[in-house]
Amino acid sequence: MLTYVVAATFRRTFRRPAKLHRIAAIAVHTSPLDQPGTGDAGGLNTYVVETSKRLGDAGVEVEIFTRATSSDLPPIVTMAPGVRVHHVLAGPYEGLGKDDLPAQLCAFTHGVLSAEAARDPHHYQLVHSHYWLSGQVGWLAAERWGVPLVHTAHTLAKVKNAALADGDRPEPKARLLGEEQVVSAANRLVANTADEARSLVEGYAADPAKVDVVLPGVDTSVFVPVSARRREADRVAYGLEPEQVAIAFVGRIQPLKAPDVLVRAVAEMVAGDPSLRTTLVALICGGPSGSGLDSPDGLARLAAELDVGDLVRFVDPRPPVELAGLYRAADLVAVPSHNESFGLVALEAQACGTPVVAAAVGGLVTAVQDGISGLLVDGHDPRQWATALAGLVADRPRRVGYGIGAVTHARQFGWDRTVRGLLASYRAASGLEVAADLAHA
């Protein structure tokens, strides 16, 4: 872990330009170029990609630093106009999980500082770190460069440990301490929801005056409802018959995301109504991650043990355009996570017109409008989930109504709105005006 008490000694004191035109974004453990749903890639990746692209459009260049995971990766990749990704050498390319990365933070920080050292003073005017590992690097970089640090936690260890799935490993004390240090050091903290802001204040003693609530968004040019004919084509692509009712899960296969709750709920539904065996399908889209890597075929084995292996289909992670087709092919999307800082999957599904049944935890309470765009379920008891899902499976008019409400609800969230919030946070941290007028749109 990086604890540099003397970092402030090396601050630069050059005159700064009046406008914010370039930031350094730190995403140590997962690259914005990675496919969400694989390894450690997920909502954080989507968030960094979508906000960075729009910051670039607003005239704020974004240089993203992430760990190199292959020798085939070029040192720098242009991801979008005004957005570049730096692949930093830190440790072996493969075989490192998030738990192994604290030992590589010094090497990673050296790579970040070296990149800046080759530039003119104040090349970067602000650091935005994503996740606590990045916060540790961003803390030192911001001190070294004499610029503000804005931090987005994305998940918090204390919140996660308070709602662990059975058999999941608690987050280590080193992460708890690391998060506390970053919360204390950051000039501004960006929380995804008011609930997360409360967790920062109550669990980490964050100063409420420096916490900004900025809701994530959804790309409504990709995740859109379509005509009945187009939706039927989406269903055919996933091998679904007209009479079948499909419930989709999208996300990393790990205890935190709780795909087992859906599998167990399907077994309960079939036990309660055997006729569902001929119509019910569960689509599981994602790859093993985190503690799920301990038993990568565990979900398939669970489905077989519960005698619903024939009802559960596994789908590899998909890029956004194909993922939108999966959401539209499904009649319902289940998000049974034990914790979510927001829940982008829920928002993407709703934007496609598909109702969501989600756990009433964290940001999902904001992402899903209970009784309007879907349902929120208290707890993770498969019987409760079976009741909620079976009620909607049997009630097509209600599903249709929720689908209409889902589109309306999702349209309140857009990445442009998110970026306006980020720019306001950047202004508060730096005192600099932004380079374009997106913040006033």
Q: How far apart are CA 144 and CA 10, in angstroms?
A: 5
Annotated binding site for UDP-N-acetyl-alpha-D-glucosamine: 35-36, 43, 252, 257, 318, 340, 348
Sign (positive or negative) of CA dihedral 298, 303, 306, 307: negative
DSSP state of 378: S
Residue 205 has which token pair? 């003693």
- How far apart, in whole angstroms, are the C-alpha atoms of residue 270 and residue 297? 22
CB neighbours of 417 closer than 8 A, spacing ≥ 6? 215, 217
For residue 181, give the 3-state DSSP assignment.
helix
- Annotated binding site for 1D-myo-inositol 3-phosphate, which residues? 29, 40-45, 98, 131, 155, 175
| The two three-digit tokens of residue 393, written as one number | 């499976």
Provide the CA 197 distance to its chain's centre, in angstroms: 17
Residues paired with residue 312 on neighbouring β-strands, in sequence order: 282
| Cα 117 to Cα 144, 212, 254, distances in angstroms | 10, 31, 40
- Binding region for Mg(2+): 327-328, 330, 354
- Per DSSP, the three-state class of 389 is helix
Compute the distance between CA of residue 425 and CA of residue 302 in angstroms, rounded to an integer: 45
Classify strands 76-80 and 83-88 as parallel, antiparallel or unpaired: antiparallel
Helix (H, G, I), strand (E, B) or coil at 284: strand
Q: 86: which 2 tokens?
A: 């730096």
Query: Which strands, in side-by-side order, build the sheet including 61-67?
Result: 76-80, 83-88, 61-67, 22-26, 127-130, 149-152, 188-191, 211-213
Q: Which residues fall in the annotated binding site? A: 29, 35-36, 40-45, 98, 131, 155, 175, 252, 257, 318, 327-328, 330, 340, 348, 354
Contact 354, 398 (CB under 8 A): no
Instruction: Report the distance separating Cα 383 and Cα 420, nearest Å.
Output: 42
- In sequence order, the 6+-apart residues with CB closer than 8 A to the CB of 103 are 91
Question: Dmax over Cα atoms in the chain, in whole Å?
Answer: 73
3-state helix, strand, coil in the chain (%, to 5): 45, 15, 40
